[in-house]
Structure 1
Amino acid sequence: MTSATNTDVWLPFPAAEIDGLPEGLDYRLWDGGQDYPADPADCAFYVVPYMKGPEVAVRPLAAMGAVRVVQTLTAGIDHVEPALGLLRPGVRLCNARGVHEASTAELALALVLASLRGFPGFVHGQDGEEWRSGFYPALADKSVLIVGYGSIGSAIEDRLEPFECARVVRVARSARTTERGPVHALDDLPALLPEADVVILSTPLNPASQGLVDARFLAAMPDGALLVNVARGGVVRTEALLSELESGRLRAALDVTDPEPLPAGHRLWHAPNVLITPHVGGSTSAFEPRAKRLLAAQLTRFAAGEPVRNVVRTTG
């Protein structure tokens, strides 16, 4: 058992529903409700409620003077990161690596295929009992550029393999080499974008990626190219994208937007050549069992005094 005296663990699921939780910890259920399940000052391991918004996520942090681990159930940490200054030094922030890769990669591929093959028009045609036949772009023989080549970007490439793409190009914050080939740095984008038929964004939101897809980025994409965003809305400058969509030069398929949720009346809802899904990349039937397995594994390590995994930041 960990040597620290505080053993409270705040979970967004009932502990009885999570197989493999270690004994000796005091499990408290909190999924973002107004009332806390116990004194936040006694919390040692805080699991951030899923999809409850940044205000809920950070609300108890200022009072969590004894917390040692903050575990998100998202791949991104941007909803929690601004409040880390409220915590004492040495607190480990962990993300949900291993939970969302399959679902997010599935959606990325679905958005690519649906947009290229004209599914939005088919749905509208079905509503109007119209038979909209014709020729549509295929994914086969296209050049695909993945911007953000972490575990989700790699999972997207896994799912692209059977589709006979002409090539898949990988971009991350810094260059490296993988078993599949080179990963280019963000600085290489101006040379890579003009050759990309499909650009898939799967990068975390951080200072390097905030507003990355601006007017210059979009102008470098070839006519008729498709932009797919399964990252965060803030990676894309919405006004710049609207200019390209409304001109008819580019297409987009967006699971995330800026602002989000996209308010009624926003121009993006009715822009031409855009397909929008309401940030559902990770919220599938695969989420809960994988999230629970992650929590059981993390808490087993925590209780045994072993290092937790998926640490992306340590405060202080």
Structure 2
Amino acid sequence: MSTERLVVSVPEQDYADRLADLTADGRVELVVWDMREPHPRGAEIRFAVVPYMTRLSLAEVTPGLDALEALQLQSAGYEQFAGDVPPGVALCNAAGVHDASTAELALALALASIREIPEFAAAQAQGEWKPLVLRRSLADRRVLVLGYGNIGRAVVRRLLPFEVSVTAVASRARAGDDLLDTVHGIEELPDLLPHHDVVVVIVPLTDATRGLVDAEALALLPDGAVVVNVARGPVVDTDALLAECASGRLRAGLDVTDPEPLPADHPLWTTPGVLVTPHIGGATDAMRPRAVALVRRQVEALRDGRPLDNVVIEARPGAG
């Protein structure tokens, strides 16, 4: 157990307040740093929590952090930071922090799309009472969850009570768990897509997943299918999805887009059957307590000489 004082930077005073008990024995010191300007204690910081949804470059904020051992993200995705992690520093993501919020939105987008809520909202704005006709329900639909990590499991857990059949696809086939009998491999996707009415995309953005849901994949879906993307915009081919939705063959619920932010004149905004939310999947008040709990575990582990959780990039040696 190390007796060296652990200086930790957190991006907001709220974090410092919630974690104040960690400083009681003098082994941990918390400093508030939003990373917009260099911190006067920068050379002493050993563990730094990166602001949520920041567009800062780690290459710009890490110079001078001579004692830095690990950077903690507040997002599960980390692809935009991977190339900027300095030697000798580990990068940790926030896997688990956004499971509830993102899964909740995935379900909301699927329900809203299938139950045609955007059309009813538009009719409400015009004072129009739509005629009563039988419309589609989520019940009895076949749902494919593309990506079966923490958030994928959270999505499935929320879907099952809606009387749907669920298929999960991961990077490789494996045995099932307490939710599903089996998990299919990505190579099975072309055979599975024609038999599913809803596809929820929740894979990380990698070289292998960029453009995964392309024109060929979308063409395999049955008429009226809904594509819900709560992963990253570039996983889905935007032009191909636009063409399918503009024709009326498919619908889409998108929390992420390519490009992002979505320009005001982009046709996704006005294409019938497309519902867009501005990348808000994890941004709820359910996030903060889970993020604080993760930071607490990380600080305690580093203080006590134990391995960190959620390490996505190991500390690599420097050139010297």
| TM class by smaller structure | over 0.9
Equivalent residue for 2:32, pick from 4, 15, 29: 29
Q: Deviations over 1:150-195 (max 9, x none)?
A: 0000000010111110x21111112211222211111111111111
Q: Taking structure 1 as the reference length, what is the TM-score of the superposition?
A: 0.92
Q: Distance in 2 between matches of 1:148 and 1:29?
A: 35
- 1:302 counterpart residue number: 302
Give the CA deviation at 1:29: 1.2
Give the alignment of 1:1-316 within 5 angstroms. 2=2, 7-14=6-13, 15-18=16-19, 20-22=21-23, 23-33=26-36, 35-38=37-40, 40-53=42-55, 55-56=56-57, 58-84=59-85, 87-89=86-88, 91-132=89-130, 133-165=132-164, 167-179=165-177, 180-316=180-316
8 Å CA contact 1:7–1:26 kept in 2: the answer is: yes
Cα 1:184–1:10 change in 2 (3 A) is same
Give the CA deviation at 1:61: 2.9
Cα 1:57–1:137 change in 2 (3 A) is farther
Q: Distance in 2 between matches of 1:118 and 1:110?
A: 12
Q: Deviations over 1:65-100 (max 9, x none)?
A: 43211111111112211212xx114x3221112211
8 Å CA contact 1:28–1:38 kept in 2: the answer is: no
Q: Distance in 2 between matches of 1:208 and 1:309?
A: 25
8 Å CA contact 2:198–2:225 kept in 1: the answer is: yes
Task: Report the residue type matching 1:301 in the other structure.
Answer: A
Which has the higher mean CA deviation after the structures are superposed, 64-73 or 227-236? 64-73
Q: Flag structure 2 segments of 5+ consecutive residues without an equivalent.
A: none
Task: Report the residue type matching 1:110 in the other structure.
Answer: A
Task: Report the residue type matching 2:105 in the other structure.
Answer: L
Q: Distance in 2 between matches of 1:40 and 1:160?
A: 45
8 Å CA contact 1:40–1:60 kept in 2: the answer is: no
Q: Find the residue that maps to 2:120 and give its secondary structure.
A: helix
Q: Distance in 1 between matches of 2:244 and 2:74?
A: 34
Q: Find the residue that maps to 2:252 and give its secondary structure.
A: strand
Give the CA deviation at 1:60: 1.2
Cα 1:140–1:71 change in 2 (3 A) is same
Task: Report the residue type matching 1:37 in the other structure.
Answer: H
Cα 1:65–1:135 change in 2 (3 A) is farther
Q: Distance in 2 between matches of 1:287 and 1:184?
A: 30
Q: Find the residue that maps to 1:146 and give its secondary structure.
A: strand
Q: Distance in 2 between matches of 1:144 and 1:19?
A: 44
Identity of aligned residues (%): 46
Give the CA deviation at 1:56: 4.5
Task: Report the residue type matching 1:68 in the other structure.
Answer: E
Q: Taking structure 2 as the reference length, what is the TM-score of the superposition?
A: 0.91
Q: Deviations over 1:240-276 (max 9, x none)?
A: 1111111111110000111111011111111121000
Q: Distance in 2 between matches of 1:156 and 1:219?
A: 24
Give the CA deviation at 1:42: 3.2
Aligned-residue CA RMSD (Å): 1.8
Cα 1:225–1:43 change in 2 (3 A) is same
Cα 1:227–1:45 change in 2 (3 A) is same
Alignment length, in residue pairs? 309
Q: Find the residue that maps to 1:169 and give its secondary structure.
A: strand
8 Å CA contact 2:213–2:237 kept in 1: the answer is: yes
